[in-house]
Amino acid sequence: MFLHEMYETSLLSLALIKTKKRTDLFRIIDLICYQHSTLACALPQFYNSNMVPPVVVSPVIKTARWSFLLIGIFYGKQRYDYLKPRAEEERRVEEAEKKIREEQEKIAKALVEASEDTILK
């Protein structure tokens, strides 16, 4: 019974999303949460119909935000292009050092095995 009611209310919510205003959806969700208080619905209090309209942002502030965003993207691209060759060079040097280190470890291991006491002595 409970699952059937939840299914019906979710279909009702989906229908409201497609057809009606957002505030109507929140009113329905509040009604559902009130009816099924055992669900522990924790909707924030600001989802009621008494919401204040958003503040109009100054065009100067909007322009500044977009400008800084574009400048940041441009700077990031420049910095990436600057650091990429250095990182590739570091990787290449590290790979060469790793090969040398592995060869030295092989030689050291062979020397240790050769100098060990064996039964044949």
- Average pLDDT rounded to a whole number, residues 7-15: 54
Residue 12 pLDDT: 54
pLDDT in tens, 40-51: 444 555 455 577
**Does residue 91 lie in a domain region?**
yes
Give the C-alpha separation, 9 to 2, whole Å. 11
**Does residue 100 lie in a domain region?**
yes
Give the tokens for residue 69: 């965003």
Number of domains in the chain: 2
Contact 25, 13 (CB under 8 A): yes
**Does residue 74 lie in a domain region?**
no
Share of the chain above pLDDT 70, in %: 60
Answer yes or no: is pLDDT of 97 > 80. yes
Give the C-alpha separation, 22 to 29, whole Å. 11
pLDDT in tens, 49-77: 577 888 999 999 999 999 999 999 999 99
Query: pTM to 2 decimals?
Result: 0.43
**Does residue 70 lie in a domain region?**
no
**Does residue 67 lie in a domain region?**
no
To which residue do tokens 């939840």 refer?
6
Domain that holds residue 93: 79-116
**Does residue 104 lie in a domain region?**
yes
Give the C-alpha separation, 86 to 59, whole Å. 41
Nearest Cα to 32, choosing from 52, 9, 57?
9
Give the tokens for residue 21: 């205003």
What is the SS3 assignment for 112? Answer: helix
